[in-house]
């Protein structure tokens, strides 16, 4: 049997032409990879530095893929053969001298972290355990006052404030992108992608969506200020946004949850989201 071969690509459309079928066969698991690659097809300079696109193949068949938008983490696909992770670790080391972390399926991410630590001497620790969910139908909660509306440039200061709070709370302040840049990007997106607010006399909850895939779109982030929690606002907003996206022609909506937060995991399942797979994020010192 031949040794797995890593093939790099300079552009997102080349990467999708080669690995798109492999990724689309498990669209929910690969919603982040497909979404990022799709955005970079139309906005190749979105993150400034040149992205890393790679596919691992054996005898012409794709068995894994990876993507990185520096300075962010490497994102791994589902892996058809464990040897593909070893091949990717070697190739990534040739391209990048440093790496902040890796996000991917549990077995693949821990294997990559072990290999990276061995090669670089950088200690790896699991920063977050997440679960990917998918919804094809929605069960909206009843009795929640308020309604949804799309955020506009007039909401920018509030959106930036809430994005910063979300980054501090959900990501431990580890975001590589300023909240202002993220908000401005969302506000200029077209189609269904963007930011939405739930209003009950005033704005009380925030949800975003973006990263369209062939049949779906990713929902997130979702944030409600602490003083407004426990009233069903986030559930109602996520359900209504999901319904809007599905009614616009999307077959699925996807989202990531932190497994350390059982409340959010229960909430999303109540409104129609079903668990698909688990992914882990490892950070390197």
Q: Which pLDDT value is given to residue 173?
A: 60
Long-range pairs, 108-113, Cβ under 8 A, ≥24: 108/64, 108/76, 108/77, 108/78, 108/79, 109/76, 109/279, 109/280, 109/281, 109/282, 110/280, 110/282, 111/82, 111/85, 111/86, 112/74, 112/76, 112/85, 112/88, 112/282, 113/282, 113/284
Strand runs labelled E in 201-243: 202-210, 216-223
Question: Does residue 183 contact residue 161 with C-beta atoms inside 8 Å?
Answer: no
pLDDT beyond 80 at 1: no
As a whole-number percent, the residues of the chain with pLDDT over 90 amount to: 88
Residue 53 reports pLDDT greater than 80: yes
Percent of the chain with pLDDT over 70: 98
Distance CA 29, CA 134 (A): 9
Percent helix, strand and coil across the chain, each rounded to 5?
Answer: 40, 30, 30
CA distance 241 to 266: 18
Predicted TM-score (pTM) of the model is 0.94
Which pLDDT value is given to residue 113? 98
The whole-number average pLDDT for the span 189-204 is: 91
Q: What is the mean pLDDT of the chain?
A: 94
Q: Could you read off the pLDDT of 147-185 as tens digits, one per residue?
A: 999 999 999 999 999 999 999 988 776 666 889 999 998
Question: Which tens digit of pLDDT belongs to each residue from 6-21?
Answer: 999 999 999 999 999 9
Q: Which of 21, 22, 38 is nearest to 213 (CA)?
A: 38
- How confident is the model at residue 47, as a pLDDT? 76
Q: How confident is the model over 72-127, as pLDDT tens digits?
A: 999 999 999 999 999 999 999 999 989 999 999 999 999 999 999 999 999 999 99
**Residue 200 near residue 146, CB atoms below 8 Å:** yes
pLDDT digits (tens, 9 = 90+) for 24-38: 999 999 999 999 999
203 has a pLDDT exceeding 70: yes
Give the model's confidence band at 260: pLDDT under 50 very low, under 70 low, under 90 confident, else very high.
very high
Cα separation, 215 vs 229, in Å, equals: 32
């Amino acid at each position: 049997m031949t040794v797995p071969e890593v093939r790099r690509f300079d552009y997102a459309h080349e990467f999708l032409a080669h690995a798109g079928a492999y990724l689309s066969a498990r669209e929910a698991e690969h919603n982040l990879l497909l979404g990022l690659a799709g955005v970079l097809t139309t906005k190749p300079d979105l993150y400034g530095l040149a992205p890393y696109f790679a596919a691992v193949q054996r005898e012409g068949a794709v068995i894994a893929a990876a993507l990185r938008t520096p300075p962010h983490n490497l994102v791994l696909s589902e892996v058809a053969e464990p040897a593909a992770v070893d091949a990717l670790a070697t190739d990534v080391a040739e391209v990048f001298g440093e790496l902040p972390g890796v996000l991917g399926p549990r077995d693949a991410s821990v294997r990559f972290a072990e290999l990276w630590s061995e090669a670089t001497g950088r200690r790896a620790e699991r920063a977050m355990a997440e679960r990917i969910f998918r919804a094809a139908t929605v069960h909206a909660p009843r009795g929640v006052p308020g309604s949804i509306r799309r955020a506009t440039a007039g909401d920018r200061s509030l959106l930036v404030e809430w994005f910063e709070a979300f980054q501090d709370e959900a990501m431990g302040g580890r975001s590589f992108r300023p909240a202002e840049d993220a908000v401005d990007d969302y506000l200029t997106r077209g189609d269904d992608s963007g930011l939405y607010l739930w209003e009950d006399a005033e704005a009380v909850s925030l949800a975003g969506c973006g990263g369209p895939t062939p049949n779906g779109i990713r929902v997130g982030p979702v944030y409600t200020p602490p003083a407004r929690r426990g009233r069903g606002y986030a559930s109602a907003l996520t359900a209504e946004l999901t319904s809007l996206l599905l009614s616009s022609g999307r077959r699925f909506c996807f989202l990531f949850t932190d497994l350390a937060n059982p409340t959010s995991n229960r909430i999303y399942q109540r409104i129609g989201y079903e668990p698909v797979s688990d992914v882990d994020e490892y950070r390197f010192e």
